[in-house]
């Protein structure tokens, strides 16, 4: 029986491309496993600190509005 679409010359380049893709996908997986969570944790920490600062400023503005009798709408 005759085999259709089979060439021995194409085996090496196809295997090379598959191996390169496997290395790239593995590298991306390792990168996501170890580096992305660290970056996300840092971003969450910065966000938490900015929220803390905003709430401290809000508290100061409320106290200032109470002391000077200003409307809360201006705050």
Every domain of the chain and the residues it spans: 35-75
Please give the Cα distance from 75 to 72 (Å, whole number).
Answer: 5
Please give the Cα distance from 61 to 73 (Å, whole number).
Answer: 11
What is the number of residues in the chain? Answer: 75
Q: How does residue 75 score in pLDDT terms, banded at 50, 70 and 90?
A: very low
Q: How does residue 72 score in pLDDT terms, banded at 50, 70 and 90?
A: low
Tens digits of per-residue pLDDT, 22-34?
999 999 999 999 9
R_g of the chain computed on alpha carbons: 30
Tens digits of per-residue pLDDT, 12-65?
788 889 999 999 999 999 999 999 899 999 999 899 999 888 888 887 888 887
């Amino acid at each position: 029986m005759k085999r259709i679409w089979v060439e021995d010359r194409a085996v090496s380049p196809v295997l090379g491309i598959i191996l390169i893709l496997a290395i790239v996908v593995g590298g991306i997986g390792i990168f996501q496993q170890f580096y992305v969570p660290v970056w996300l944790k840092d971003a969450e920490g910065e966000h938490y600190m900015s929220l803390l600062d905003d709430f401290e400023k809000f508290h100061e503005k409320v106290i200032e509005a109470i002391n000077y009798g200003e409307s809360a709408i201006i705050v």
